[in-house]
Structure 1
Amino acid sequence: MRPIATMPLDVAARIKVLFADIDDTLTNEGRLPAVAYAALERLSAAGIAVAPITGRPAGWCDMIARMWPVAGVVGENGAFYFSYDQQTRRMRRNFAIDDAQRAADRERLEAVRTRILAEVPGAAISADQLYREADLAIDFCEDVPPLADGEVDRIKRIFEQEGAVAKVSSIHVNGWYGAYDKLTMSRSFAADILGVDLEADKSRIVFVGDSPNDAPMFGFFPNACGVANVLALRNRMDAAPAYVTTARGGYGFVEVANHILAARREVA
């Protein structure tokens, strides 16, 4: 991981899409700093398509797609994308799994939920679970005292023993049934909403993240960036970002935005 300041100006100036995780990437200590939100606005105003790629639930993502200065949002670790058309006042929703299968999968996840709560003392169901469409989120440090790494691994292992996919974020272990992740739904979102081919244009796309569930994105995008807190989790990730910021969370995200926008001005 190289400092974000070393990303070549000609590379940074050509960025046309920016994807970013939310928790501990746009946020800091659970809050969205004004400077991070302002950075989203500045990027959008400069003509860069911005989209959060998050593990957060459908209920939150509907609000984000409507009210934030973004082109859309991929939620629940790739279960769907939402994009709001301001002109037609229509929300476009695309799910990886159809309604009937999602309902059946939620029933299967109820058994997983019961097992995790019985076998991992201190774990809790995420407070945002009621707003989810496709996955089960287990809180290990957001609203509960932090669990040890071994207990977090145990939660992930239970999901996998039950046949589910499981990913660890900075606050939750998310589990679901279905062959999708952040990258697969980002492909669909980019093609459908942005008219962008992720494979052909990946050198002109930056992903900013912070945790193990961002590894598919880190591994795919050659100019992916991690905010500084990613360094503490690098041994738990299958792939690392090419660049890293000096600041944590939303303040690190601002570093990435500033570098891209400054490069555009310099090259122009």
Structure 2
Amino acid sequence: MRPLHHMPRDTAWAVQVVLTDIDDTLTDDGRLGAAAYAALERLQAAGLIVVPITGRPAGWCDQIARMWPVDAVVGENGAFYFRYDREKRVMIRRFFKSEPERAEDRGRLAELRDVILAQVPGAGLSADQAYREADLAIDFREDVPALPPEDVRRIKFLFEQAGAQAKISSIHVNGWFGDWDKLTMTRLLLAEAFDMDLDAMASRIVFAGDSPNDAPMFAFFPHAVGVANVLDFAGELEAEPAWVTPSRGGAGFVELTEVLLQIRRD
């Protein structure tokens, strides 16, 4: 990982799309600050496509797509994208699986929830679980006392033992039954909503993230950026970002925004 200020000017100038994780990338201690929110607005005002890519639930993503200065949102680690057409006042909801498939999966995940909570004392059901459509989020440090790393890995193992996919974020372990991740749904979103070929556009896209569940994005995008707290996961990431900001969380995202916008002002 190289310091962000080493990013070449022509690389920053070429960026057309900014994709960003939310928790601990835009937020600090669970709160979205004014500067990070304004950075999203500034990027969009400059003509860049802005899309949060998050593990957060469908209920949150509906609000984000409607009210934030963003062009779409990918949620539940790639289970869907939502895009609000402001002219037609219509929410476009694109899921990886059908509603009957999601209903069946929710039953299986409910059984798995009980197994995990019984076998990993101190773990909790995420407070936002009621608003989820396609995955199960087990809290290990958002609203419960932080669990040790071995317990977090145990949660991931129990998901995988049951045949589910599992990813560790900075606050939750998310699990689901299905062959999607953040990158899979990002590919569909850009093709269907913006007529973009992800492979052809990869060098013109920046993804910002901070944790192991961002690894597929870090691996794919040659100019992926980690906010400084990504260094907390050194040695645990399956793939690392190309660049790292000086600051953590929302301040780091603001630093990335400055790099991308300064070249457009010069």
TM range (shorter): over 0.9
Separation in 1, partners of 2:162, 2:91: 34
Query: Contact 1:207–1:221 at 8 Å: present in 2 too?
Result: yes
**Do the aligned residues in 2 keep the contact of 1:14 with 1:264 (CA within 8 Å)?**
no
Aligned to 2:214: 214
Q: Note the alpha carbon deviations across 1:39-64, whole angstroms, 9 max, x for none.
A: 00000000000000000000000000
Distance 2:169 2:119 in 1: 20
Aligned to 1:38: 38
Which residue of structure 1 aligns with residue 47 of structure 2?
47
2:252 matched to which residue of 1? 252
Unaligned runs of at least 5 residues, structure 1: none
Structure 2: state its 5+ residue gaps: none
Residue 70 of structure 1: aligned partner: 70
- Deviations along 1:89-128, one digit per CA (max 9) or x if unpaired, are 0000100011111000010011110000100000000000
Aligned residue pair count: 266
SS at match of 2:234: helix
d(CA) in 2 for partners of 1:180 and 1:210?
20
User: Is 1:142 matched up with 2:142?
Assistant: yes
2:131 alignment partner in structure 1: 131
1:151 aligns with 151
Q: How does 1:102-251 map to 2 (within 5 A)?
A: 102-251=102-251
d(CA) in 1 for partners of 2:80, 2:42: 26
| Secondary structure of the corresponding residue to residue 256 of structure 1 | helix
Matches of 1:130 and 1:159 in 2, distance apart? 19
Letter in 1 for 2:62: D
Shift of 1:195: 1.8
Question: What is the Cα deviation at residue 236 of structure 1?
Answer: 1.2
Supply the RMSD in Å over aligned alpha carbons.
0.5
Q: Distance in 1 between matches of 2:263 and 2:3?
A: 15
- Distance in 2 of aligned mates of 1:220 and 1:18: 14
> What is the CA–CA distance in structure 2 between the aligned matches of 1:206 and 1:26, rounded to whole Å?
14
Deviations 1:10-53 (A, max 9, x none): 11011000000000000011100100000000000000000000
CA distance in structure 2 between the partners assigned to 1:234 and 1:105 by the alignment:
33
Question: What secondary structure, in the 3-state scheme, does the structure 1 residue paired with 2:19 have?
Answer: strand
Q: Which runs of 4+ in 1 moved over 3 A?
A: none
Write the letter of the residue equivalent to 2:68: W
